[in-house]
Structure 1
Amino acid sequence: MRRLLGEEYETYVDSLNTPINTCLRVNTLKISVQDFLKISPFELTPVPWSNNGFYYDASTCSPSKHPFYYAGLYYLQEPSATLPAATLPIDEGDKVLDLCAAPGGKSTELAAKLAGTGLLVSNDISASRLKALQKNIEVFGVRNVIITCESPEKLAIAFNGYFDKILIDAPCSGEGMFRKSTSMVTAWEINGNEKFAEIQRSILKEAVKMLRPGGMILYSTCTFDPMEDEDQVMYLMELGKDLSLVPIEYHDGFVPGNPDWSNDPNASSDLKYTYHLFPHRIKGEGHYVALLKSNGEIDRSSYINNYDYKPYSKLKPVPEIDDFLSHIKKLDKASLEYRNDKLYLIPDDSPALPGYRVMRRGVYLGELKKKRFEPSQSFAMILDINDFDNVLRLPVDSIFVKKYLRGESLDINDDDGIELPPKDGWTLVAISTETGDFPLGFGKLLKGTLKNKYLPGWRMMS
């Protein structure tokens, strides 16, 4: 660090003893930034490099305990960690890979930028970390996603030349996280940089195989050592001879990559197009980011067999499912798969992937249990408030909202000032705000009493 920072080194060391910065990132799949700012109860200031990221003061507010968090209106993320997904350009219809995706901060933003088009493949080799990834994907209301748990080597076999955009937030020594987590210091002391540099190269070697001609790769780490940063970018360009660095928008405090820091004697001067983020220069933790583009002619001819399933619309009707679906205005039965008593919404052009660990394909909508259909929590989260015909709208500051999120039944009387939906039965519960209403989950209404169907594992603890 002394070599990299020179006379700034002591300022950097001092910064490690200052409080960390906290940020929320608005979920533009559910609400525009403009509308969110109208209803936000928090004092927010923009994160310069993120169009939908905002600093908040964790000493004065707790966004993780607010109903907006449970409605999926934002993701809580370290400010510098918003940069990779913000930097990778996403176009309508892109096929996008988040190769090291857990716990989902990058994937949720990539999905928001796709805006329901194309396909997102979110992969992580760690099965234990996938639980958090899946929950975050579901809270955000993402439909067009496949979640896999595979090694990059195996993915590269199925997805050769398939993806328009690939994001690699690589496992690293975590030097940039020393202020945020003391455990990262211990891990760095044990593992050093060499171990992670080897892992990174094994990932990059496979990732470049999955990129389409004309596609783009975003490489990032949360560390400072050139062995894991500049050196890996040079390695990536050697792997893909047609890859070149793309300039990234500069923001105050960013430090350009430096070929003189690299251990590669042939380091390119274009490394100046990459950026380091140091915690003494910006309001965030340490990070490194590089954007590369394949200079080959754009080719979308790469073929992979689509997932073969018989659409629910072509099966013998299941009355219990049809009864529930009759409440919904916009749902294409030709995109529904029904198997083993479970109902799924399958993304368009979903690849088959036989023999691969596919943890989720599209959206799990619910299950037939004892002659009744039980809709899933993820079903509620993908719905627009106007999609369902029986909605209980609760003011966001109502005591009933927290009761619902805690899993309690709701007894609503005439003097509570809350308008009940038009009929008993399955009900979509939503929070009501001046800019719109946002689903939280399902319940079953009977004469003013709502039986709570909010997913137990998601419930508010206090």
Structure 2
Amino acid sequence: MKEIKVSEEFLNRMKDLLGEEEYKAYLKSFEEKRLYGLRTNGLKITPEEFAEKAIFCLKPVTWIKNGFYYEGEDRPAKDSYYYAGLYYLQEPSAMTPASLLPVVPGDKVLDLCAAPGGKSTELGARLKGKGILVSNDISNSRAKALLKNLELWGIENICVTSEEPGKLKNVIGEFFDKILVDAPCSGEGMFRKDADMVKSYKEHGPEYYAVIQKEILKQAADMLVPGGFLLYSTCTFSVCENEDVIDWILKENEQMELVSLPLFEGASSGIGLSGCLRLFPHKIKGEGHFMALLKKKESHMEKEVVSQKETSKASPIPGDLSSFLSLVSKPLDYSRIRIKESAVYYLPEYFPEKAKGLRYLRTGLLLGEMKKDRFEPSQAFAMALRQQEFKQTLSWERQDERVLRYLKGETIFLKEEEGPVKGWCLVCVDGFPLGFAKGTGASLKNKYYPGWRWQG
């Protein structure tokens, strides 16, 4: 058995939590091989299409319709399809919270503790470009990784912030239809997978995190509109951080009520609080997780309708930007284009313009940059397009060596039958966009973003 370097107190608590027989099964799970998972991007490909194209040995995650297991020997982060944003690498149990929050296109959604983006990418994909996703993480450095993952997935209707939840609440107020709180926790459910979680646990245990979790959950509830849903999750087993926190918010805020989550094979109900969901590594093929779905009771008062008309005046469109946009057949509402200094943004629907003073990393889709009178499109814009939505494209097969050379930032020389290519070109792999290049005739000047380049 893999040695568990944690306190006797933790082991005794797990024995009390599970009972003698289940506790033995839990300890035995440490002998099993670590599981690896990926989740497909519903904005770009269906699970069925991906399974047909995949070069990995895949097995479905039974409770996640777009989730797959892959073998540890595979290297999916080195595949060009990863750079096309077709999938996200994520532990299978961690896919569950976002799948259970009932997000529909047009919702105003908040992922409050979002980095590095595993749950936000799923929430954003399910919005299908409608409504708004605000993804927040208090750590600015982690929020940068979050932004990259959202842009890699081609999610256009985003705002990425790096703020304390209390400040978001004070500035934005009661605004969101759906909120995900994947709370910071002691990480007991990840001990089997991540030794660093064991080290962290020795510094801060469940009681330390429970105080933080209650405060975050209270602030999140205040940002939820009446009738809205909030999904609370942790990757820990402690009742103190899970059922006790939910019980506390139900008593603290009489507007909140618990909505029962459906059980699936291998899942367990909450301990002492039915309707919650627990995942244990000895019962499912994944790590430990807890989830509870809350709803804010409907108000008798009339709901405030947030209209796009509340947004500020649209920016005038410079000539070269207009010329570039004429190459794009993707439907764009030009009234939502803003130019700040040299950066050109496409704001989401219902962008909270009143929310000034927040630390934003991104407000909407970054279309590109005005360099004097010349417009240069962004990597994020390329990822938000489909091949058929740009006038001039080149698509190479996955095994074409030029795909890798493009991802490394090299100049690409075209075959005779492919040229000449002049002006902006969208480069694709098997029809999935990777980024922009600029044709000079028989070659392509590489415009792939340096910070995203393939590292061999």
Q: Same fold (TM over 0.5)?
A: yes
Q: For 1:337 and 1:285, locate their aligned partners in 2 and report how far apart those are by CA, in whole Å.
A: 43
Alignment of 1:34-183 (within 5 A): 34-59=48-73, 61-183=74-196
Q: For 2:31 and 2:309, locate their aligned partners in 1 and report how far apart those are by CA, in whole Å.
A: 52
TM-score (norm 1): 0.91
Aligned residue identity for 2:410: E
Give the conservation status (yes or no) of the 8 Å contact 2:136–2:160: yes
Matched, 1:236 2:282: no
Aligned residue identity for 2:333: D
Alignment of 1:157-236 (within 5 A): 157-236=170-249
Q: For 1:205 and 1:31, locate their aligned partners in 2 and report how far apart those are by CA, in whole Å.
A: 37
| 1:343 equivalent in structure 2 | 344
Which runs of 5 or more residues in structure 1 are unaligned?
Answer: 260-270
Aligned residue identity for 2:293: L
Shift of 1:84: 0.2
Q: 1:32 aligns with which of 35, 42, 46?
A: 46
Matched, 1:320 2:333: no
Alignment of 1:283-362 (within 5 A): 283-297=285-299, 300-301=303-304, 308-312=311-315, 315=316, 317-330=317-330, 331-352=332-353, 353-362=355-364
Give the conservation status (yes or no) of the 8 Å contact 1:20–1:285: no
Change (3 A) 1:303 1:389: closer
| 2:447 equivalent in structure 1 | 453
| 1:263 equivalent in structure 2 | none
Q: For 1:390 and 1:421, locate their aligned partners in 2 and report how far apart those are by CA, in whole Å.
A: 12
Shift of 1:246: 1.7
Q: For 1:412 and 1:423, locate their aligned partners in 2 and report how far apart those are by CA, in whole Å.
A: 9
- Bigger Cα displacement from structure 2, 350-359 vs 13-22: 13-22
Shift of 1:120: 1.0
Q: 1:431 aligns with which of 415, 429, 432?
A: 429
Aligned residue identity for 1:369: K
Q: For 2:307 and 2:244, locate their aligned partners in 1 and report how far apart those are by CA, in whole Å.
A: 33
SS in 1 for 2:394: strand
C-alpha RMSD over aligned residues: 1.8
| 1:368 equivalent in structure 2 | 370
SS in 2 for 1:273: coil
Give the conservation status (yes or no) of the 8 Å contact 1:158–1:304: no
SS in 1 for 2:229: strand
Which runs of 5 or more residues in structure 2 are unaligned?
Answer: 1-13
Aligned residue identity for 1:450: L
Q: For 2:294 and 2:444, locate their aligned partners in 1 and report how far apart those are by CA, in whole Å.
A: 53
Q: 1:387 aligns with which of 379, 389, 393?
A: 389
| 1:246 equivalent in structure 2 | 259
Residues 66-111 of structure 1 deviation map (CA, whole Å, 9 limit, x = unaligned): 1110000111101000000001111231111111011111111011
Change (3 A) 1:355 1:40: same
Q: For 2:250 and 2:380, locate their aligned partners in 1 and report how far apart those are by CA, in whole Å.
A: 40
TM-score (norm 2): 0.92
Change (3 A) 1:238 1:50: same
Shift of 1:302: 6.3
Aligned length: 439
Q: For 1:44 and 1:124, locate their aligned partners in 2 and report how far apart those are by CA, in whole Å.
A: 32
SS in 2 for 1:14: helix
Identity of aligned residues (%): 47
Give the conservation status (yes or no) of the 8 Å contact 1:279–1:286: yes
- Bigger Cα displacement from structure 2, 357-366 vs 244-253: 244-253
Give the conservation status (yes or no) of the 8 Å contact 2:421–2:443: no
